[in-house]
């Protein structure tokens, strides 16, 4: 086993439009505060963060043979990510309407389809030889769950704003050793759900709480909390992915959970200072 992380899931080309408020559902006109294009996608965010922390990372994504796909591939590679690109027909593209407080409406302009019809041999090899496997919410990752479990490697997943009932998330939750999420839709208290995940076989569940930091439950049902690292926020895009990457990197380095959570908070703060998924993209997209 080599010391690298395998990630499967979304990467996209995003056009971000910053607004003073999200649009109301009535005909009207608004002036944008600014707009830019950049790499998007939760898996791309985690891969960029891990590469920025100095860890070897292989990212399996679906890309098209279009200009957007070439931009995503080239920028990720230039940032130190080993891209294993499957043929998706088209590259995922988003139009994201965002406020400076982090509110967002994502409009999906294009979504890829897996044209291969089976697991990519390069992805299977990278997964088998990884220190940890990250499976993000995507049909591509869903198809890899049986193979990931067969490797015996620890599986990490990010269920984002899971509401506690959506069926698509269940295979990821059932397969994962470590589950990350946020509290946006889980109810007033995420802890009962987190503890049920531990009872179901997970060894770690972490819920991010934005400016309030994060809470975690470990395999002994011990609760942990970490404060958010103070930082002047420019853009909140990718903070959750960076937090998970920081925790994963520290865990693989042998840090105990309290220290790993602190590492996650520090790394999340580092991406709040850029309008891209990671500061490494600042020079590449300047």
Model pLDDT, residue 4: 93
How confident is residue 2, by pLDDT bands cut at 50, 70 and 90?
low
Using alpha carbons, select from 140, 138, 142 the residue that is nearest to residue 120.
Answer: 140
CA distance linking residue 261 with residue 240, whole number of Å: 12
Contact 143, 119 (CB under 8 A): yes
Read off the pLDDT of residues 227-268 as tens digits, 9 standing for 90 and up: 999 998 888 888 999 999 999 999 999 999 999 999 999 999
pLDDT for 286 beyond 80: no
pLDDT for 1 beyond 70: no
CA distance linking residue 273 with residue 262, whole number of Å: 18
Model pLDDT, residue 35: 96
Range name among 113-127, 149-163, 179-193 with the lowest pLDDT average: 113-127
| Region 172-179 average pLDDT | 98
User: Which structural domains are found in the chain, ordered by start?
Assistant: 4-284 (3.40.1190.20)
CA distance linking residue 104 with residue 237, whole number of Å: 9
Read off the pLDDT of residues 101-155 as tens digits, 9 standing for 90 and up: 888 999 999 999 988 778 999 999 999 989 999 999 999 999 999 999 999 999 9
Please give the model's pTM, rounded to 2 decimal places.
0.95
Percent of the chain's residues with pLDDT above 90? 90
Higher pLDDT, 211 or 135: 135
Phi-psi region at 33: left, alpha or beta (left = phi > 0; alpha = psi -120 to 50): alpha
pLDDT for 53 beyond 70: yes
Neighbouring C-beta atoms of residue 144, cutoff 10 Å? 23
pLDDT for 68 beyond 50: yes
| Region 165-170 average pLDDT | 95
Neighbouring C-beta atoms of residue 10, cutoff 10 Å? 22
Contact 87, 116 (CB under 8 A): yes
């Amino acid at each position: 086993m080599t010391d690298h992380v395998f990630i499967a899931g979304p990467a996209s080309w995003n056009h971000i439009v910053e607004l003073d408020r999200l649009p109301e559902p009535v005909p009207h006109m608004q002036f944008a505060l600014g707009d830019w294009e950049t790499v998007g996608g939760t898996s791309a965010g985690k891969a960029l963060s891990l590469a920025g922390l100095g860890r070897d990372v292989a990212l399996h994504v679906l890309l098209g043979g279009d200009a957007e796909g070439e931009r995503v591939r080239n920028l990720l590679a230039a940032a130190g990510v080993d891209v294993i690109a499957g043929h998706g027909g088209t590259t995922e593209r988003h139009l994201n309407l965002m406020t400076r407080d982090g509110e967002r409406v994502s409009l999906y302009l294009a979504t890829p389809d897996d044209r291969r019809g089976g697991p990519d041999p390069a992805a299977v090899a990278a997964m088998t030889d990884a220190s940890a496997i990250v499976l993000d919410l995507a049909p591509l990752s869903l198809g890899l769950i049986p193979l990931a479990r067969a490797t015996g490697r620890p599986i990490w997943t990010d269920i984002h704003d899971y509401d506690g009932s959506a069926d698509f998330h269940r295979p990821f939750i059932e397969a994962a050793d470590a589950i990350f999420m946020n509290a946006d839709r889980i109810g007033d208290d995420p802890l009962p759900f987190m503890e049920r995940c531990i009872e179901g076989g997970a060894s770690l569940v972490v819920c991010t709480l934005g400016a309030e930091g994060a809470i975690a439950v470990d395999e002994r049902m011990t609760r942990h909390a970490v404060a958010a690292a103070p930082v002047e926020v420019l853009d909140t895009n990718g903070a959750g992915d960076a937090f998970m990457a920081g925790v994963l990197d520290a865990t693989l380095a042998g840090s105990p959970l309290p220290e790993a959570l602190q590492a996650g908070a520090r790394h999340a703060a580092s991406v709040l200072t850029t309008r891209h998924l990671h500061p490494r993209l600042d020079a590449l997209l300047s």
